[in-house]
Amino acid sequence: MSTVTNQQVEARVIDALATFGPDKSQITRESTFEELDIDSLDLVELAQIVEDEYGVVLKGEDMKQLKTVGDAIELIASRAA
């Protein structure tokens, strides 16, 4: 598998989150999941997308640590590298 850049992960994560409800323009690395109204069910779906795309397995305990979109991007990018 070719290396995945942080920017690629960011674009994919933001696209995915935008399908869950929030306006795409609202979503930045600094946005918290709480303010985007992204809950634990959404994060499970995000984990499924990420696993499918990058082969990165995110468990429940991983997801619980995530507060912002940036946190998710960093975690996924580090595991995908």
Partner 1 sequence: MKPKIVVTGLGAITPLGIGASALHERWARGECGIVDGAGACTDFEPKDFLSVKEVRRLDRFSQLAVVAAGEALAQAGWEDEPPYEPWRIGCVIATGIGGIQTVEAQHDVMRDRGAKYVSPLGIPQYMPNAGAAAVAMKYGLRGQMYGIVSACSSGAHALGSAMRMIQCGDADAVVAGGSEATLTTFGYACFNSMQALSPTGISRPFDARRDGFVMGEGAGVLVLEEESAARRRGATILAEAVGYGSTSDAYHLTAPEPSGAAAAKAIELALEDAGMSAEDVSYVNAHGTSTPLNDAAETVALKSALGVEHAMRIPISSTKSAIGHLLGAAGAVEAVATIETLMTGVIPPTLGYEVPDPELDLDYVPGEARPLTPPNGAGRVAISNSFAFGGHNVALALRRGSE
Annotated catalytic residues are 39
Q: Is 15 in the site for partner 1 (CB under 8 A)?
A: no
Question: How many amino acids of this chain bind partner 1 (CB under 8 A)?
Answer: 10
Cβ closest to partner 1, residue 3 vs residue 37: 37
CA–CA separation, 49 vs 66, rounded Å?
16
Q: Is 20 in the site for partner 1 (CB under 8 A)?
A: yes
CA–CA separation, 70 vs 13, rounded Å?
10
Instruction: State which of positions 23-52 bind partner 1 (CB under 8 A).
Output: 37, 41, 44-45, 48, 51-52
Write the Ramachandran bin of 68: left for phi over 0, alpha for psi from -120 to 50, otherwise beta: beta
